[in-house]
Structure 1
Amino acid sequence: MSHPDVYLDKVINGTKADLDSFLAFFLWECPSRMIPDKEEVRRWAEALDKRGPEFESDAATCREFVSGNGA
């Protein structure tokens, strides 16, 4: 993606339900031209880790994507 942090605000401030939908779309469903790069998703995982236990599964999903076990 051309702007690495374009969605970081959503990751930092979005609700759990919003983030579940957001991650499902960007990590598995979006067109190939929209797939985020691994560095961007790594930043999402770090931001979600900081949000606490409620977002632990979302952070884990991002880490799986980065490690190549996701998409």
Structure 2
Amino acid sequence: MKLPDGDKVKQIQIEEKLTTYILKEDHKDGRHKARLFKSILGVNLDSKNLLVEALLKIAKVDVTIL
């Protein structure tokens, strides 16, 4: 399955979502995700670039593997 508009995803969109919500350990709703990313992938706000690059690459691939 192709990710809709995956080729239009911008790096700033991903960074904003990660830094303001998903990787923010003191966010009311995001802190649980932050703990998950840190414990399983070792990714936190300091190492978010690794995740940003991977998500950009995945978004632009023609086929999404489920």
TM-score by length of 1: 0.30
Relative contact order higher in (CA < 8 Å, ≥ 6 apart): 2
More helix by proportion, 1 or 2?
1
* Structure having the higher Rg: 2
TM-score by length of 2: 0.32
